[in-house]
Amino acid sequence: MTQLDQLKQYTTIVADTGDFQAMKAFAPQDATTNPSLILKAVQKDEYKPLLEKVVREHGKLGTDGIIDQLLVAFGLEILKLIPGRVSTETDARLSFDTEGTIAKGRALIKLYEAAGIGRERILIKIASTWEGIRAAEVLEKEGIRCNLTLLFSLPQAIACAEARVQLISPFVGRIYDWFKKSSGQEYTGADDPGVQSVRSIYTYYRKFGYATEVMGASFRNTSQIVELAGCDLLTISPDLLQKLAESDAPVERKLSKEAAQSADLKQISLDEKSFRLALNDDAMASEKLAEGIRQFCADAVKLDKIVDGLR
């Protein structure tokens, strides 16, 4: 069996790409997108017809409305290829706007439902700021399932679980990047700080019975992926999916509910003040959250310009 086949025995595999043509070979259960992935996809020749069609049919809506239609158009194409869910991200420029995020989540779900897609197949991706988590809490109560992204710390994960969000996406690779740059050291296997972060979150959730799903994300190499075998879900880029499919090295389960329940942990409760203080005290998490929001905002602006250029 390939590493990919072995991994599927323990973990739900998710394709992390806006290039829906690239995911056909790997048969993932779910798929995720983000502003950077969509921006990358629409600049490829094979996706220009889809972009042009959306702009042509919805040009009267204004840029924001066209972008919403474009995100959903990609989501609809992806849903034709997978049996599970697709994650569609809200505008990163709403990361500190609770009401704006709620409105955007409702608007995206409305578009999917108009296309005949049920809510159970959509996850609305929202940045794991305090404001984003509060928006997700409201949306979840309305039956709109959410994926809290740009998550780098246990306090963010705890706040998401207490808000009863459907799923979180802790970022392994970006945590690794920060520590590698900060220390000048290379990290591998179980010593990888990104791997350790996801393990701690998974263990905390299963220890205290939270239903929120944990989906490791943002991988830099297959070692990070294999070290998280047993995590609820792992969202993986096509190039790393290909490497897993080409290897037959053994994959062992590393995370389990049974092992987590024996961990010696204390439960933590966070209000807004303690959440903000804990996040501020974690230099890596606060810096990578801010950096991630800036990057997604910049890519959203670039996508706006591409759309405006076709109107």
Residues labelled as active-site residues? 125
* Angle formed at CA 294 by CA 293 and CA 299, multiple of 5 degrees: 100
Burial class of residue 60 (count of CB atoms within 10 Å of its CB; 0-12, 13-18, 19+): exposed
- φ, ψ at 264 (rounded to 5°): -90, 90
Nearest Cα neighbor of 290 from 146, 53, 128 is 128
Pairwise CA distance, residues 153 & 47, whole Å: 35
Nearest Cα neighbor of 224 from 167, 168, 257, 186 is 186
Pairwise CA distance, residues 197 & 203, whole Å: 10
Pairwise CA distance, residues 146 & 128, whole Å: 11
Cross-strand partners of 89: 125
Count CB neighbours of 100 within 10 A: 16
Pairwise CA distance, residues 192 & 41, whole Å: 30
Please compute, for residue 24, the number of CA atoms within 13 A of its CA located in the half-sphere on the CB side.
Answer: 5
- DSSP E strands in 61-166: the ranges are 86-89, 122-127, 146-151
